[in-house]
Structure 1
Amino acid sequence: MTASCPAFLNEIPVQPTSLPTTWYDSYDGLVLCGALGSGHLNLECVPQLIRIVKPGGPIILDVDSESRDTVDTFKDGKFEADLDELGRKGLWVKEGYELVPDWMFNGPGHQYAYKVV
């Protein structure tokens, strides 16, 4: 894990076989609203978050257009490519996407829905 993840996420071992049973598959679902972007969580944290959601559980996340289009690790399609890569690795399946014109602070945002595999 990188230093850009909150400390409590760094406590989760990277290998899924060594995750404490109190964390692994513990939550029915997860919502990240306004958590991804400049100065917030980055996409390197998402695999750890996926691991704590029960198989079949939903993960809903969003990002504002400004962050998605300007943050170096997100822009130029990197945000969607990284999310899609997690699907190719078999961690989740994309269930939906919606562009929300007045998402937050009267600016557009992007909402994504996934199901943990």
Structure 2
Amino acid sequence: MSQHHKEARFNPKLRTDMTPQQIAEMFDDFADDYDEEVLEKGLRAHELVGDFLATTYPESDRSSLKVLDVGAGTGFVGLKLKALGFTYVDALDPAQKMLDVAKTRNVYRRLICAFMDKNRVEEIETDFYDCITATAAFNEGLVPCNAFAQMIRIVKPGGRIVFTIPQKNINNAVEYRDRLLPLIDKLAAEGAWEVTAIPLADGQLAKSLGPGILYSLKVNVSEKYFEI
């Protein structure tokens, strides 16, 4: 991998000229030392999402709920959810080597190598999951705004899309600046979902990420098409 792509691991601004294949290859090359590097940076987003789901779904219901972990990486969310009693969790990630590491943790039923974007993931039926989670996936070069159409298709009406995003990504990432929040508000106004937004203080997502937001989008429709 080029030095540019190595630096792009933790500098998303450098990903704007990378193709999806290059993004996936970057994370493939990152797989062996991903855990050590992100834990050193104090990653906590998976803890926040897991704790939110635990307050949302009673313990008696968790084993029957179907969850898709988008941008699953090496499996931090899967480990957290298993500890909380969620036993039907699938992983989706564009980097096969990251999924290979996640597989060793025995927390996912199915591992799907794909991007979550505007394209239909044929392996996933409409209205199949009760919840989608995404912790570090709303980042430059990963989940684009138009991916919400597929997320809505995949989640059952009444299900949720739960994700975290640093405020600096909302403000500065090319994909999200002046697009993400207006789209969330637009789809809420049209009745596609109901929005819960929980502000996160500096350091809650990770040591150096600054403040952010945890979103829970309660989906009301089976499918939704939109222009952005």
TM-score, structure 1 as length reference = 0.74
| CA-CA distance at 1:63 after TM superposition | 1.1
Find the counterpart in structure 1 of residue 115 from structure 2: 6
- Relative contact order, higher structure (CA 8 A, sep 6+): 1
Find the counterpart in structure 2 of residue 85 from structure 1: 186
Q: Partners in 2 of 1:69 and 1:101 — Cα distance?
A: 15
Partner residue of 2:165 out of 58, 63, 79 = 63
Q: Give the 3 Å change call, closer, same or farther, for CA 10–72 of structure 1 in structure 2.
A: same
Equivalent pairs: percent with the same residue? Answer: 24
Contact 2:118–2:146 under 8 Å retained in 1 = no
Structure 1 moving runs of 4+ over 4 Å: none
Rg (Cα) greater in structure: 2
Q: Give the 3 Å change call, closer, same or farther, for CA 104–8 of structure 1 in structure 2.
A: same
Q: Give, as a single letter, the amino acid of the residue that structure 2 aligns with 1:24.
A: T
Q: Partners in 2 of 1:59 and 1:101 — Cα distance?
A: 23
Contact 2:195–2:217 under 8 Å retained in 1 = yes
Larger strand proportion of the pair: 1
1:1-117 map, 5 Å: 6=115, 10-12=119-121, 23-75=125-177, 77-102=178-203, 103-107=205-209, 108-117=211-220
| CA-CA distance at 1:40 after TM superposition | 1.1
Q: Which runs of 5+ in 2 are unaligned?
A: 1-18, 21-113, 221-228
TM-score, structure 2 as length reference = 0.41
Q: Give, as a single letter, the amino acid of the residue that structure 1 aligns with 2:150.
A: Q
Q: Partners in 2 of 1:90 and 1:34 — Cα distance?
A: 27
Q: Partners in 1 of 2:201 and 2:125 — Cα distance?
A: 32
| CA-CA distance at 1:112 after TM superposition | 0.9
Aligned residues, how many?
Answer: 107
